[in-house]
Amino acid sequence: MTDKIPVQDVTVDPAVGSHDPQQTVTQTMYAKREHLYVREIKGLFQRVRRTSNWALMALFFGLPWLQWGDRPAIWFNLPDREFHILGGTFYPQEFYLLGWLLIIGAFGLFLVTVFAGRVWCGYTCPQSVWTFLFIWTEHRIEGPRNRRIKLDKQSMTFDKLWRKSAKHAVWLLIAFATGATFVGYFTPIRELVMDFVTLDVGGWALFWVGFFTVFTYLNAGWLREQVCMYMCPYARFQAVMFDKDTLIVSYDEARGEPRGARKRGADPKALGLGDCIDCDLCVQVCPTGIDIRDGLQYECISCAACIDACDSVMDKMGYPRGLVRYTTEHALEGRKTQVLRPRLLGYLAGLLVMLGLFVWALGERTPLEFEIERDRNQLYQMTQDGRISNIFTLNVRNLDDREHTYEVQASGLPGLNLVGDGRITVGAGSTRIKAIELHLDADALDRPSLPIQVSLQSVDDADIREEREARFIGDIKR
């Protein structure tokens, strides 16, 4: 017998049990948002989360102010196409390194997700970090959860006006600082701040600071959990990486059910109840407004606020902690959790391989790029002494943060030699074009075209050397 999904005809009037052809049924595909009054809670995991949040914000706001010599330590200089990261300077030709970093980040995120679920979302995601900062500000100005609910229900008073105004003013100030700091990674922030102080800020800088100010204010102040639930793609596909050994925030239904209120210190077994007193504190502290007792849900960001809330209640009731805890499905079923499993080891191996290759690529990186092109006006010339001449154009870019002088060298054919000055000096992060002329005895050419090697060797640094292949062309008269 095939299982069937029960279907209800929405055109049937339940009062009369028949079809009403005049009845119009509408169904909203998007549920209207109910404002969440998140309750503040203290506990071990919230201390960890707050510490990580403050540390990440300190890094974000502080890095643009650090100096490395005469420039910012982190500076993405788009007009000059230079990307300064501490002592290294990178250029668009090296964007493959950025792709490598993104792949490493993806493997790292997959590894963490398989092992411990969405802890990235709960502890380090920028959306969560700034949302928690805005909620923290709301707590400081408008008060605890119950007071905020009461404040929103009452008519406009002076107390409500100044609290609401102060909250939004602080939100906008944080959002503006966020926008200015973000732009400060692309424009030296010391100059940017002075431009704002003197009201001499450029149009593009003003636009982008304003854009990210509004973006931060709306995302962290108004949208909040809506971003996690409806806009973030990670919330949708992260469950694919879960297995029954993934560490997730879970409610121990076997221990907690049936729920029910009781006096402090009462024996739940004598009352025929589980350990859950149905206080709903786990729901009140949840930043996405879910009830963890309903099971694993994609809205859960694993911030563990419900764990700290439940543990505080268990302490007051004299019950063991862990009714809501980080655990696995296998552990809840009374089975052993397998930490080292093929999927986890696979992601770990991939991450280590990519990290190793990235470190190797950085170690082998030469701060020099050049291209060689043949003179298009004439393939070759014959000199007065009967030798064959080829002219090439070198496009040399110094990727280092200091000036270098390079020696041009040619090899690959016997008797091949460079005519004229073979040195070129290129400033830090600059590009220069140099024409070179190569001569070869006609007798050394047994084919119309032969491969040669042209290299650049730094005069002041033996480790900086690059080589390119070219073709030497001539006429064979034999």
* CATH number, domain containing residue 379: 2.60.40.10
Query: Cα(273)–Cα(199) distance, rounded to whole angstroms?
Result: 67
Run of H or E residues at 310:
helix 305-317
- Are the C-beta atoms of residues 405 and 423 closer than 8 Å to each other? yes
| pTM for the predicted model, two decimal places | 0.81
Alpha carbon distances (Å) from 33 to 30, 36, 160, 288:
9, 9, 23, 11
Query: Cα(269)–Cα(280) distance, rounded to whole angstroms?
Result: 21
Same domain flag for 70 and 181? yes
- In this prediction, residue 166 carries a pLDDT of 97
pLDDT of 445-471, one tens digit each?
888 889 999 999 999 888 899 999 999
Mean pLDDT within 271-293? 95
Same domain flag for 315 and 266? yes
- Are the C-beta atoms of residues 220 and 130 closer than 8 Å to each other? yes
Q: Which residues contact 227 (CB under 8 A, 6 or more apart)?
A: 127, 219
Tokens describing residue 385: 């002494």
* Strand partners of residue 418: 438
354 in a structural domain:
no
363 in a structural domain:
no
Q: What are phi and psi of 32, to 5 degrees?
A: -65, 135
**For residues 54 and 376, which has the higher predicted lDDT (pLDDT)?**
54
Same domain flag for 174 and 145? yes
Q: What are phi and psi of 38, to 5 degrees?
A: -75, 130
pLDDT of 304-358, one tens digit each?
999 999 999 999 999 999 999 999 999 998 999 998 899 999 999 999 999 999 9
Question: Which of the four pLDDT bands, split at 50, 70 and 90, describes residue 30?
Answer: low
Q: What angle do CA 405, 408, 413 make, to 5 degrees?
A: 165
Q: How large is the angle between the packed helices 126-142 and 44-62, nearest 10 degrees? A: 110
Report the helix count and the strand count for the chain, using DSSP H and E: 16, 18
- Are the C-beta atoms of residues 37 and 149 closer than 8 Å to each other? yes
Same domain flag for 133 and 272? no
**For residues 39 and 369, which has the higher predicted lDDT (pLDDT)?**
39
Same domain flag for 227 and 250? no
- Are the C-beta atoms of residues 304 and 118 closer than 8 Å to each other? no
On the question of pLDDT at 16 being above 80, the answer is no
Q: Which residues contact 316 (CB under 8 A, 6 or more apart)?
A: 264
Same domain flag for 210 and 308? no
Mean pLDDT within 53-76? 94
Tell me the pLDDT of the chain averaged across its residues.
89
114 in a structural domain:
no
Same domain flag for 286 and 144? no
Same domain flag for 135 and 282? no
Question: Which of the four pLDDT bands, split at 50, 70 and 90, describes residue 29?
Answer: low
Q: Last residue of some domain: 239, 260, 292?
A: 239
182 in a structural domain:
yes
Q: Last residue of some domain: 285, 310, 332?
A: 332
- Are the C-beta atoms of residues 187 and 205 closer than 8 Å to each other? yes
Q: What are phi and psi of 25, to 5 degrees?
A: -110, 125
279 in a structural domain:
yes
280 in a structural domain:
yes
Most confidently modeled range among 6-15, 125-134, 260-269: 125-134
**For residues 362 and 12, which has the higher predicted lDDT (pLDDT)?**
362
- In this prediction, residue 386 carries a pLDDT of 84
Same domain flag for 157 and 234? yes
* Domain encompassing residue 181: 44-90+125-239
- Are the C-beta atoms of residues 444 and 476 closer than 8 Å to each other? no
Question: Which of the four pLDDT bands, split at 50, 70 and 90, describes residue 423?
Answer: very high
Q: Last residue of some domain: 187, 222, 239?
A: 239
Same domain flag for 85 and 198? yes
312 in a structural domain:
yes
- Are the C-beta atoms of residues 343 and 245 closer than 8 Å to each other? no
Closest-CA residue to 113 (of 438, 447, 351, 352): 351
Q: What angle do CA 81, 183, 77 make, to 5 degrees?
A: 15
| Omega within 30 of 0 (cis) for the link into 287 | no
The backbone region for 204, taken as left when phi is positive above 0, alpha when psi lies in -120 to 50, beta otherwise, is alpha
Query: Cα(267)–Cα(146) distance, rounded to whole angstroms?
Result: 30
Domain count, the chain: 3
Fill in the amino acid letter for 248: I
- Are the C-beta atoms of residues 112 and 33 closer than 8 Å to each other? no
Same domain flag for 207 and 131? yes
181 in a structural domain:
yes
Same domain flag for 69 and 203? yes
DSSP designation for 415? T
Question: Which of the four pLDDT bands, split at 50, 70 and 90, describes residue 383?
Answer: confident
Query: Cα(46)–Cα(58) distance, rounded to whole angstroms?
Result: 18
